[in-house]
Structure 1
Amino acid sequence: MVQEEAEEFPEEDGTIDADDGDAAEEDTSASEDELETPAHSYATLLRALKPAASAEGRSAKRRKLENGHSDAKDSKRRSGAPPEQDVNGQEDEHLGAELVEDEDEASAADEPEEVDSDDEDFVLHDPFERHYANVVEDDLAAAIRQQEQKGNSEKATLGHDTRKIITTYTQKRKSPKPKKGTGNPKLKHRLLETGAAITSNLRPEEQDIMSELFDYKDILCGSRSLDNAAKFRDLSALHSLNHIFKTRDRVLKNNAKLAQESSGDAEYRDQGFTRPKVLVLVPTKQACVRFIESIIKLSQPDQQENRSRFMDHFSQPEDHTFDNKPEDFRDLFGGNHEEDFRVGLKFTRKTIKFFSGFYNSDIIFASPLGLMRTITTGGGKKENKGHDADFLSSIEVVIMDHANALEMQNWQHVDYVFSQLNLLPKESHGADFARARSWYLDGKAKYLRQTILFSDYLTPSISALASAHLHNVAGRIKYTPTYTGAMLNLSPSIPLTLTQSFLRFDSVSPHADSDARFKFFTSTILPNLLRSSNKAINKGTLIFVPTYLDFVRLRNHFSTAQETTSLAFGTISEYSPKGDVARARSHFLNGRHSIMLYSERAHHYFRYKIKGIRRIIFYGVPENSIFWTEMIDSLGMNAQMDPEWAQAQRGKQGKGLVRAIFSKWDVMKLERIVGTERVGRLVSEREGDVFEFV
């Protein structure tokens, strides 16, 4: 345990202020987790800038701090007793009131911070100053009007495998060119050394993403992979720190100017309504740990308060039972894969504090589920305090990493969180409205907010989110890989040739797609399936269903329709109990069930290796192209287990063993399966609706 004297940057309006030097003495044994709502005045900020009292006249505040992983163990409340879990999933018995802050946190005095110079050239060319500080109201209004008209979009290419779409909201259209030699971004001095280690080791495509990211444009990147995920995480962490430090830097400079101003006529608009400026959405607790480790690596704080408690609740060792799972599965679900969490992170000159109250945090890390619960309950532990999203009113940067994993959880939670961003607060929370930027007061903060989204692939849900909630007037950049096609990436160990067939059906709109798909399946696919299901050689049909609603619809039809009453089938979904899963797999393998319904989310969460598959019908192509190859590899596994059956299929070139039905609305995920060059023909070809690839 390390105990040191320390003073922090407290907050008044949720940004930066300095507290009165004559704050009351606090007992040195006070718990670091006792919470108090922030309620200071602007006058307090000014008084704090006056000459401080002598050292003898001020009582030093003892803080519980830690270096590395040393934790501050305090009070009888925490002696040996396990932390209590509240209804919102927030660990520690006093952190139910997650939106508020502890007493000594709210009354500690600011330490002086080194600030960058007001060099005119720096201000002119710094994207932070240009995007947030030097906003001209007429230009902003014109950009908003252009944004509402969808703006101007142009295309560019990066190398041979990345496509870039640039959307701008200015009157003058510039030819989009890949940025070469972008150099280092405008970083705070304390980040230059650690930032250089990140920015100097990037591929050209990654350099382009870095340049646009630090230029405060919205980023939709669909090329996240196991190879570049850590780089994107480091870049996002660097950008977050840079933004937070520059925000604090600007406020402290203006505090000093106000202290020297005698006329009282000076006006500085440099703040929002509340302190939190960055929101990071990640799918699991372990992903949160990785992101915060990047933060620590880059900021190199002298002390980390509550670090070991954070690691106890958020980090777990790798599960060795996952050793036989695919690498992408281990990356997502390795360690602590809980999906209900949120935690605040607060920065001072030398310290990072974990579990800070949201209204006094600089960065909020959360899963969509965890944040949604906090908003709807007001952060209360034992009683519902009512809806409270005011702590999200001044978010200026949103980072969503591994968005495709979040979509597999519940995308409605993501939509809900974005709908609560940058709303006018219902309460003042001690905000100094004389210092609030005009575009905050005018309710236009959403037009300046930057959203950075990294995903293994882009989906219609992500595109819909961008259309509904991404309004950044700086523009939007979308990165999409050029796909060769997952159908070409089959395992060479499959002992037979396979013909992969794609059957197109007509669908007039995305809303009517589910009904049209069901009608096509029951009228075209199912009759042939029923005729052959009683033949032993044709048993072992797995029907892969991408959405749970379609899964339930098929299951109910198989259970109640007159023509399927004699059909023996099993089901495995993401909600199936382990016993039911084991029974369904066993019956499918021994032939008791000739058909199995298998949901995509079940495969996402468990990666079952289904034995006994003799043919696969994709009710819809999977969003994750990796699942296509894994399912066909399972078919190959059965061919190895049953050589007699495999020999019978060789003469047919594996026809009818792999079939997928699709409509033109499946173009995004179909492209990942068949490849960028082929997808246009499958969607628009008028001479036929069946496409086969050997």
Structure 2
Amino acid sequence: MRKKHSKMCFGVNKKAGAVRKSNHFAKNNNFMQRSRTMEKKNRTEISFRNEFNQLQIDVADPPSLNNEETGFYEQLVNGYHGTNSAISVNELDKCFPMPRENKTRNDSEDVKYGDLEQKPFNTFAKRFNYEITADDIPILTARKTKTIKCKWAALGNFKVEVPDINANKILKSEYKPRKKISCAEEFQSMEVKRSMCTNVSYPLTQLQTELFQIVNNYLDLYYPQRIHDNAESIRYVYCLHALNHMLKSRSLILRNNEKVNGLSKSTKRNPKDMAIPDSFRDQGLSRMKILIVLPFRDSVLKTVNIMAKLLDESSKGKYHQIAKYERFLADFSGNTVYLPKTNPKPHDYEQTFSGNTDDNFKIGIRLAKKTLSLYTDINNSDILIASPLALRMIINDKDQSFDFLNSIELLIIDQAELFLAQNWENLIYTLDHLHLQPQSLPDIDCQRIRASCLSGTSRFYRQTLFFSSHELPEFRGLFNNKCDNYQGKARIANHIEHGDIRNVLTPIQQIFQRIDCSSAESAFDDRFQYFVRNIVPQFSKSIYSHCLLYVPSYFDYIRLRNHFKSEMVNFVQISEYTKKEKISRARDIFFHSGAKVMLYSERAHFFRRTRIKGVRHLIMYQPPNFPNFYSEIINLMLESSQNPRDGLQDAMSVKILYTKYDLLSLSNIVGNENALKLSTAANSSYMFSNSL
């Protein structure tokens, strides 16, 4: 029997949460060489006496690999030094004839997807059959790409960046969109599993068709135009793609299992005692292949329901075929945030916070042919849906392994702007722990593990789908630096003409003040120093009363709060952690001129949408991360929200502090052209006005 092992670290610190660098290819290449050397050495120990005759071959008794598998992995982990006397891969493939199969389409032929003609390197099989070479790695890490600009009907303008490696030489210089998918035959032409084609709700919209065309070609996707109107259409597309990928993976493994069993019967040997050709490598270091990161439990409920319908349309919303669905429904529904009918919240707030808004959850899903099994063990699950907080807690748990993250093939991040309001660091922390070397020995046949997982290059085979409502530097940085798909990436880049400034109703001049800074790292300190030198002294003037200081970053909020306390500034504060009683008291003091300044965090506004009355002066410490908050905050200064007894009827102002690194945030507010002028023009102060 196979000996069970305790947890063992692959040459790294055992401390949970310690980030093990996966981008040092010297270490990973050594790991790859050790694995291949050991595997080839085991294969050379098998002696073949006679040539095969069709499917009947006679082989000499090789040493039992089952008894030596433990030693094989230990040497692979600890390092191995030996001579390389392996036979060539071509010779090895000749040793085991494959069972005869029905004639299928030649993979070398071109595949035509409607109007888009491409070689089949973007299909599932060709994607994983291509092995990244040593010459490809410097190109991929340096991100040397060629750019293709496209414009489609629903997606608009987007850019496709393709790494300049041999696998991508055959890509056409121009993409053409498909027409709206309206029947199962069209889906089958895109290599979608037949079992799902009959369950799809036809016709798909043009947006869904174009999105699926991109993701089905296994390109990374950054789509920053997810709104509540198209949210479910987007969710439907990535659920369809995830299930299609999972069903193809499952079919490949089952098909290879049959081939291995056929070889075992023909040779009359145990499958574990045979040397298997490299063409049978179809698995990662762990079973899990898909990770879906969502912000709320309600999002999980919607996602699982769509998956169930795609697998079995006959369920008609009853989902009896899903194991433990009643428990799932109890855990992921209900607990809706109270939405008042008098003085209602904005429409986007009601849509965001409808349903269960708990942000600490994880659920493993195992896929069968026509059903889902929920609450499966994470290490034995095919799909994991979790929040960034739950993932970070798993990674930091010393008693729990996070090896399930080392072979992710499809990563889906939806509603990314909500992660920014929760804790963006949790998401970054999770992505830093993908595709690392295992903490413990994998319980899988080493001959079935893909070479990319052994060589440390599995991150180049991961597809990432990233959806958000708007563009931000954090989103662009994640997509540029954390997504390394060797087949390339597509980024939607539509022009913003006006921005949210057109929704401002208050007739007031808005001053945009640029702060000079030398680097992105120094921008935080430069902004603070400018504020202390030029803004804080004005708080002592009587005319500068009723000032609302809006702060997007919580770290800046803490820094300003501490400075106000040390300088004895008369202020009140509202953050996301402030209790309701203190919020009411702070609003009352501010409205009746009891405090000159109110310090207000963006996350407090996101989670509560408190209506602050009596605002005469508004200072935005930084452009809002949520564009619609710009007009919402300024519209608090309407005459109907003022205190008629404060004696400041004519004294009103709005000032927005920004740096050149806030270009994307400014574009969401004033449009692309104006944002570029604000960031690059000679003047440092600009005024926008909607006064009549």
- Give the TM-score of the pair, scaled to structure 2: 0.75
Q: CA deviation at 1:463?
A: 2.5
Preserved CA contact (<8 Å) 2:615 2:642: no
- How far the C-alpha of 1:117 sits from its partner, in A, is 7.7
Q: Contact 1:347–1:353 (CA<8 Å) still a contact in 2?
A: yes
2 CA distance for matches of 1:596 and 1:266? 70
Shift of 1:349: 2.6
Counterpart CA distance in 2 for 1:160 and 1:693 is: 33
Question: Who is 1:101 aligned against?
Answer: none
Gap change, CA 1:129 and 1:478, over 3 Å in 2: same
Give how far 1:682 is off: 0.7
Is 1:431–2:429 an aligned residue pair? no
In the TM superposition, residue 476 of structure 1 has moved relative to its aligned partner by 1.1
Q: How many residues align?
A: 551
In structure 2, the CA distance between the partners of 1:627 and 1:121, relative to structure 1 (3 Å rule), is: farther
1:681 Cα offset (Å)? 0.8
The residue type equivalent to 1:595 in the other structure is V
Q: 1:490 aligns with which of 503, 506, 530?
A: 503
Partner letter of residue 375 of structure 2?
F
Instruction: Name the aligned partner's letter for residue 420 of structure 1.
Output: H
How far apart in 2 are the matches of 1:170 and 1:135? 15
TM-superposed CA distance for 1:599, in Å, is 0.7
Higher mean C-alpha deviation, range 443-452 or range 314-323: 314-323
Change (3 A) 1:119 1:446: same
1:477 aligned onto 2:482: no
Q: Secondary structure at the match of 1:581?
A: helix
Deviant stretches of 4+, over 6 Å: 643-647
Deviations 1:539-590 (A, max 9, x none): 32111011111111111121112xxx3x421111112222221211111112
Residue 660 (structure 1) aligns with: 656
Aligned counterparts of 1:611 and 1:687: Cα–Cα separation in 2:
33
- Deviation digits for residues 310-331 of structure 1 (CA, Å, limit 9, x no counterpart): 1111111644525522232223
Alpha-carbon offset, residue 461 of structure 1: 1.9
Q: Distance in 1 between matches of 2:605 and 2:640?
A: 21
Q: 1:412, CA displacement in angstroms?
A: 1.6
Whether the aligned pair in 2 keeps the contact of 1:487 and 1:674 (CA below 8 Å) is: yes
Q: Contact 1:271–1:436 (CA<8 Å) still a contact in 2?
A: yes
Deviation at 1:335, TM superposition (A): 1.6
Residues 467-489 of structure 1, C-alpha deviation per residue, up to 9 Å, x if partnerless?
A: 33211101011113422334433
Aligned in 2, Cα 1:352/1:539: closer, same or farther, shift over 3 Å?
same
Does structure 1 retain, via aligned residues, the 8 Å contact 2:276–2:447?
no
Q: 1:144 to 1:194 in 2, by over 3 A?
A: farther
The answer for the alignment partner of 1:120 in structure 2 is: 105
**Which segment is superposed worse, 619-628 or 521-530?**
521-530
Instruction: Report the Cα distance in structure 2 between the residues aligned to 1:371 and 1:260, rounded to whole angstroms.
Output: 41
> What's the counterpart of residue 683 of structure 1?
679
Q: Deviation per CA, 1:402-449, whole angstroms, max 9, x where unpaired?
A: 011112211221112112212232333421111111212212111101
Q: Tell me the distance in 1 between the aligned counterparts of 2:108 and 2:172.
A: 23
Match of 2:548 in 1: 542
- Determine the structure 2 residue equivalent to 1:275: 287
Residues in 1 aligned to 2:454 and 2:297: alpha-carbon distance in whole angstroms: 35
Distance 1:511 1:249 in 2: 49
Partner of 1:528: 538
Superposition deviation, residue 181 in structure 1 = 3.2
> What is residue 146 of structure 1 aligned with on the other side?
139
**Residues 441-460 of structure 1: CA deviation (Å, up to 9, x unaligned):** 21211110111110112322
Instruction: Tell me which residue corresponds to 2:324.
Output: 306
Distance across 2 between alignment mates of 1:273 and 1:306: 28
Q: Distance in 2 between matches of 1:258 and 1:597?
A: 67
2 CA distance for matches of 1:182 and 1:143?
37
- Which whole-Å CA distance do the structure 1 matches of 2:595 and 2:198 have between them? 62
Say if 2:548 and 2:597, in contact at 8 Å, map to a contact too: yes
* Partner SS state of residue 518, structure 1: helix
Partner in structure 2 of residue 168 of structure 1: 162
Of residues 191, 194, 202 in structure 2, which corresponds to 1:186?
A: 191
The answer to whether the 8 Å contact 2:592/2:646 transfers is no
Residues 294 and 169 (structure 1), Cα distance of their counterparts in 2 relative to 1, 3 Å cut = same
Q: Which runs of 5+ in 2 are unaligned?
A: 5-100, 112-119, 182-186, 268-273, 313-318
Query: SS of the residue aligned with 1:385?
Result: coil
The percentage of aligned residue pairs carrying the same residue is 28
2:573 matched to 1:571? yes
Query: Secondary structure in 2 aligned to 1:514?
Result: helix
Question: What root-mean-square deviation, in Å, do the aligned CA atoms of Structure 1 and Structure 2 show?
Answer: 2.7
Tell me which amino acid in the other structure corresponds to 2:596: S
What is the CA-CA distance between 1:626 and the residue it aligns to? 0.8
1:352 matched to 2:375: no
Match of 1:385 in 2: 399
Which of 460-469 and 364-373 deviates more? 460-469
How many angstroms apart in 1 are the aligned matches of 2:647 and 2:497?
28
Structure 1: how far apart are the matches of 2:645 and 2:592?
Answer: 16
The structure 2 residue matched to 1:225, chosen from 224, 227, 238, is: 227
Give 1:401 deviation, angstroms.
0.4
Cα deviation digits, residues 332-351 of structure 1 (max 9, x gap): 22221111111101122343
**Which residue among 418, 422, 439 is the counterpart of 2:435?**
422
Residues 260, 254 of structure 1: CA spacing in aligned structure 2 closer, same or farther, 3 A cutoff? same
> For the residues of structure 2 that align with 1:117 and 1:374, how far apart are their CA atoms?
46
| C-alpha contact (below 8 Å) 1:372/1:417 kept by paired residues | yes
Aligned-partner Cα distance in 1 for 2:601–2:647: 26
Q: Out of 467-476 and 281-290, give the one that drifted further.
A: 467-476
Q: Contact between 1:144 and 1:473, CA under 8 Å: does it hold in 2?
A: no
Q: 2:417 aligns with which of 383, 390, 404?
A: 404
Q: Partner letter of residue 129 of structure 1?
A: F
How far, CA to CA, are the matches of 2:550 and 2:224 in structure 1? 24
Which string of whole-angstrom CA distances, capped at 9 and with x for unpartnered residues, describes residues 75-122 of structure 1? xxxxxxxxxxxxxxxxxxxxxxxxxxxxxxxxxxxxxxxxx9872257
User: In the alignment, which residue of structure 1 is the partner of 2:383?
Assistant: 363
CA distance in 1, matches of 2:204, 2:180: 13
Q: Distance in 2 between matches of 1:553 and 1:363?
A: 41
Q: Which runs of 5+ in 1 are unaligned?
A: 1-11, 13-115, 378-383
Return the alpha-carbon distance in structure 2 between the equivalents of residues 434 and 338 of structure 1. Answer: 42
* 1:399 alignment partner, SS class: strand
Structure 1 length-normalised TM: 0.75
Q: Secondary structure in 1 aligned to 2:229? A: coil
**Alpha-carbon distance in structure 1 between the residues aligned to 2:175 and 2:192:** 24
2:539–2:545 CA contact under 8 A, matched in 1: no
Q: 1:621 aligns with which of 620, 623, 626?
A: 623
Report how far residue 158 of structure 1 moved.
4.0
**Other-structure match for 1:375:** 395
Structure 1: how far apart are the matches of 2:667 and 2:501? 12
Confirm or deny that 1:201 pairs with 2:227.
no
> The residue matched to 2:240 in structure 1 has which SS?
helix
